Amino acid sequence: MDLGIVVRPELSPESLIDHARRAESAGFSELWLWEDCFLAGGVAMCATALAATETVTVGLGVMPAPARNAAFAAMEIAALARLHPARFHPGFGHGVDDWMRQVGAKPASQLELLEETVAAVRALLAGETVSVEGRYVRLRGVALDHPPGTVPPVSVGVRGPKSLELAGRVADGTVIDWLSSADYVRWARGRIDAGRSAAGRTDPHRLTVYACCAADADGEAAIRRAVDERRAEGGGQAAFLDAPLGDLALIGDADAQRRTLAALEEAGADCVVLVSPDPSVPLDAAALARIVS
């Protein structure tokens, strides 16, 4: 199982280069960035991180599909995939409802829009000429002039059962949000596999799981607050939040954190990406090297 680390978008854009290089030096194989409103743009931040590092894979988890035209998103992805072969892992999601309403991009059907977007982007990246008249995606004979030689995987970041099944049908991978216990990961993998089976897919499907990581008591308190907030939101993940904190996040000493990682791997995670529970306090990549090694 691979290990990654998130550089949260609340940190200043100019600090990204230093954080990215620290993560690579500490031995993390992946660096993930978020595109949250109204912070730094995800594609620009990923391009910067890729240019500042040499080997680490940079993931964008995730772009809100309602705010992205499929053809132009494919152009951005293809450019980074050609400049940094096999090092860019883009992802799409539904977008946060309030933010999508705020920018006038909330669709009537989040599922339909996400499925159409991911299907079109994957086809374009594969070098196909795409003509489609969907409810949200309409392309007429569109093909990339510079498709990537190494086609990057396209993941979706989702939580609920219908969205997870969609991920299995149309995407190359799934990104699961933080506060995910091994039981939730196992359940999510089951829903993804159901979608894959319905679509007749047998190719690999990469499951990336974000995991909160607390460095001290303040961090653990922040995770508990996040659990309470997520429980209040409801949804498919809420049913799995009544679990010990050590099942939902990496807390305690290095051995305890390794046990949590092992449980996530056994449940089906292909990559676990560590997240600071406090948006203003970045994780210390060098200090976390003890669980990378």
What is the model's pLDDT at position 235? 73
Distance CA 168, CA 191 (A): 8
Q: What is the mean pLDDT of the chain?
A: 95
CA torsion sign, 81 to 83 to 86 to 87? Answer: negative
Domains and CATH numbers, the chain: 2-292 (3.20.20.30)
Distance CA 41, CA 43 (A): 6
Q: Is 34 helix (H, G, I), strand (E, B) or coil?
A: coil
Write the pLDDT tens digit of every residue in 58-92: 999 999 999 999 999 999 999 999 999 999 999 99
Write the pLDDT tens digit of every residue in 129-138: 999 999 999 9
Closest CA to 135 of 66, 201, 50: 66
What is the model's pLDDT at position 293? 63
Pairing between β-strand 271-275 and β-strand 2-7 as defined by DSSP bridges: parallel
Mean pLDDT of 102-123: 97
Write the pLDDT tens digit of every residue in 195-212: 999 999 999 999 999 999
Distance CA 65, CA 67 (A): 5
| Rama region for 84: left / alpha / beta (φ>0; ψ in -120 to 50; rest) | beta
